[in-house]
């Protein structure tokens, strides 16, 4: 799982209709086939569920909310970082540099876009 993508965060596998190759992030308090697999990635093979343990700092993309999450003892959603827009002293060159850095980080998928 080099660049894992999950459909959504779910706790009840009976509530979904999986297609082979799709995966879900198992949410806290999971039931049914996912009991005792909280925080794992559940992938549907067509013949059953395969579970993948997260590693520290592992990052996944969650399609349902168009966001990333990073594993730090539990899955943490990434947050948006906004460019500076106010202040008593405005340094145009510094803001331009900050905007360039934020744009580069967003392009790499490291930060969420604020637009």
Q: 65 and 12 in one domain?
A: yes
Alpha helices in 71-113 (DSSP H): 92-107
Closest Cα partner for 46 from 76, 23, 27? 23
Q: 63 and 90 in one domain?
A: no
Gap between the terminal Cα atoms of the chain: 29
Q: 72 and 89 in one domain?
A: no
pTM over 0.85: no
* Residue whose entry in the numeric block shows the structure tokens 């459909």: 7
Q: 72 and 84 in one domain?
A: no
- Span 34-61, mean pLDDT? 95
Q: 95 and 45 in one domain?
A: no
CA distance 42 to 10: 10
62-113: pLDDT as tens digits: 999 988 899 999 999 887 777 778 878 888 888 888 888 888 887 776 776 6
- Percent helix / strand / coil, the chain, rounded to 5: 20, 25, 50
Containing domain of residue 64, as a range? 5-77
* Residue whose entry in the numeric block shows the structure tokens 């198992």: 26
Q: 71 and 110 in one domain?
A: no
Count structural domains, the chain: 2
């Amino acid at each position: 799982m080099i660049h894992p993508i999950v459909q959504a965060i779910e706790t009840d596998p009976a509530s979904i209709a999986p297609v082979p190759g799709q995966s879900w992030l198992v949410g806290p308090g999971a039931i049914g086939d996912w009991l005792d697999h909280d925080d794992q990635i559940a992938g549907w093979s067509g013949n059953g569920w395969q579970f993948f343990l997260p590693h520290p700092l592992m990052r996944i993309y969650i399609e349902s909310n168009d966001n990333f999450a990073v594993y730090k003892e539990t899955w943490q959603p990434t947050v948006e970082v906004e460019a500076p827009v106010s202040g008593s002293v405005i340094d145009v060159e510094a803001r331009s540099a900050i905007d360039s850095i934020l744009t580069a980080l967003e392009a790499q998928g490291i930060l969420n876009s604020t637009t």
